Amino acid sequence: AKSYVFDPVAGTYTVTNDLPGGGHWYPSLTALGTGDVIAVGGLDQNAAGSVATEQFDSTQGRWLPAAQVPQTFFFWGLYPELKLMSDGRLFYAGVHTFSNAPTAAGSNIYDPATATATVNDVPGLRDVNLRDQGASVLLPPAQAGRVLTLGGGNGDAGADAIASTDLIDLRQADPHWQPGPNLPAAKMYVSAVILPDGLVLETGGGRHLRSDPVHEASLYDPVTNHFTSVPADPQDRTYHSQAFLLPDGSVAALGNNPLDGSFSQIISVYRPWYMTRTRPSITAAATFGYGSHQTLGVTGDIGRVTLLRPASVTHQADPNQRSVDLPVTAGQNGQINVDVPANPNLLPPGYYMMFAQNTAGVPSVARWVRIG
Q: What would the pLDDT profile of 231-252 be if each residue is shown by its tens digit? A: 999 999 999 999 999 999 999 9
Average pLDDT of span 282-310: 93
Average pLDDT of span 344-352: 97
Q: What would the pLDDT profile of 258-277 be if each residue is shown by its tens digit? A: 999 999 999 999 999 999 99
Q: What would the pLDDT profile of 158-205 be if each residue is shown by its tens digit? A: 999 999 999 999 999 999 999 999 999 999 999 999 999 999 999 999
* pLDDT score recorded for residue 352: 97
* pLDDT score recorded for residue 114: 84
What are the φ and ψ backbone dihedral angles of 11, each rounded to 5 degrees?
70, 35
Q: Domains along the chain?
A: 277-371 (2.60.40.10)
Flag whether pLDDT at 148 surpasses 90: yes
* pLDDT score recorded for residue 329: 94
- C-alpha–C-alpha distance, residues 170 and 186, integer Å: 26
The pTM assigned to this predicted structure is 0.97
* pLDDT score recorded for residue 118: 86
Average pLDDT of span 146-151: 98
Q: What would the pLDDT profile of 86-120 be if each residue is shown by its tens digit? A: 999 999 999 999 999 988 999 999 998 887 778 99
Q: Are 305 and 338 in contact (CB under 8 A)?
A: yes
